[in-house]
Amino acid sequence: MWFHPFNPWKAKTLSTSFEQDLLALLPRLRRFAAGLAGSPADGDDLCQMSLERALANREKYKPGTRLDSWMYRMMRNIWIDEGRKTTRSRQTFVAEEAGAGVGGDGAQEAAVELSNVDRAMQRLPEDQREAVLLVMVEGYAYKEAAEIVGCPVGTLNSRLVRGRDALMGMLGEAQ
């Protein structure tokens, strides 16, 4: 009996599942992208590029493996490639001093604190920022984060410790 390797019904099912799984990952992908890119707008652009690449290369994804790790690795590679293409600086929407004296309700204070954290994250070296984002924000285990970044676990741990310590120092200064 002859069997044709391409079954359009099965491909449709896999495609739909792939797209649904991507859709379920979207909030996490957007958060990671914004953290890497330095702003929500640039993060959305990075996320869109990553999703486009994933959809165009869905046949390269191995079912049964972690789609989130595959996407984070792809997003990181795009971010590195885009960073090499451009030298435009990543700026925050307000100057650092603008939020220091803001009083009022807790929402404003929380927004200022979040802005301080965001600025501090952007001041970290890229390798430390990646480690902090993957482990502390996204909740990956050290081993998984090291696989995404492509380094040994010990290296990732070192980057995380240095990044966390630097963040704590910068945020201590902001108080």
Residue 96 DSSP label: G
Considering the chain, tell me which residue range(s) the CATH 1.10.10.10 domain(s) occupy. Answer: 105-174
Q: Note the pLDDT of residue 94.
A: 46
Q: Note the pLDDT of residue 86.
A: 64
Considering the chain, tell me which residue range(s) the CATH 1.10.1740.10 domain(s) occupy. Answer: 8-85
Q: Note the pLDDT of residue 107.
A: 67
- Pick from 125, 122, 112, 126: nearest CA to 91: 122
Q: Note the pLDDT of residue 115.
A: 75
Cα(95)–Cα(70) distance, integer angstroms? 36
Q: Which residues of the chain, if any, have pLDDT below 50? A: 1-14, 87-94, 102
Q: Note the pLDDT of residue 171.
A: 83
Q: Note the pLDDT of residue 4.
A: 40
Please check whether the domain covering 8-85 is classified as CATH 3.90.950.10.
no
Q: Note the pLDDT of residue 145.
A: 92
Cα(155)–Cα(161) distance, integer angstroms? 10
Residue 50 burial by Cβ neighbours in a 10 Å radius (0-12, 13-18, 19+):
buried
Q: Note the pLDDT of residue 14.
A: 44
Q: Note the pLDDT of residue 98.
A: 53
Q: Note the pLDDT of residue 81.
A: 83
Q: Report, at the CATH architecture level, how domain 105-174 is classified.
A: Orthogonal Bundle (1.10)
pTM (2 decimals)? 0.54
